[in-house]
Structure 1
Amino acid sequence: MSRPLYQLKAEFFKTLGHPSRIRVLELLSERDHSVAEMLPEVGIEPAHLSQQLAVLRRANLVVSRKEGSGVYYSLTSPDVAELLRMTRSILTGMLSGQAELLEDLRASARGDGADTPAR
């Protein structure tokens, strides 16, 4: 019996649920990168980066290729980069809504009357 789609989606998002993996995917959304190029950008130990890349490879989100003595990684699909762009857009909308609420609360605290009903 196959698993329901919502379970597969949850597992997919769980795979994305690590800041280092997101950073790797962001970098690979720009262009292919070697491990050496990613290390300073991701800011974790080489062994940890290798572990995170292995998780992304197993999830079929990235692929690797050997060039000379280096290993280069790339996204398996441009849809991954699009997902990251959409996520940024969603977060921007959420945070701007929170910023507006915060400004309303500050105005209310100053006594601007923003929360006083009109008569």
Structure 2
Amino acid sequence: MESVAWISIALFWVIHSVFVNNADLPKPIYGTTLFSICMFISFSIFYLIKYFVEHKLNKIEKLKKSITRLVTLISDIRINHYFQMAAKAQSMHGKEEIEKDVEIVEDKIFSTIEKVADES
């Protein structure tokens, strides 16, 4: 809030020096009105900047969650799926089990991609 006050004071003197050429401050009403306008402009600038910063931070958080989910999926496939498939592929009876595991992994992949797409 202190920054808003300093912005408004600076705007007050800039507007005053540009538009008033005669007396320093001719009327108290003029000073109050001009200062109120400057405060309004300052609050608008402050909250606009705050909105943009929060919007960018939320976007970064969403991207971070999406990346985390994708990395988790890749590590899960690499750690669990590959070694299980290699072990089951060595036996002749593992074909049905491999097909079931492939369906499970495909479901994980598609559900993760849908979650990431929904977050974006």
Report the structure, 1 or 2, having the larger helix content. Answer: 2
Report the structure, 1 or 2, having the larger strand content. Answer: 1
Instruction: Please report the TM-score for the alignment, with normalisation by the length of structure 1.
Output: 0.37
Instruction: Please report the TM-score for the alignment, with normalisation by the length of structure 2.
Output: 0.37
Determine which structure has more spread, i.e. the larger CA radius of gyration.
Answer: 2
Structure number with the bigger relative contact order (C-alpha 8 A, sep ≥ 6) is 2
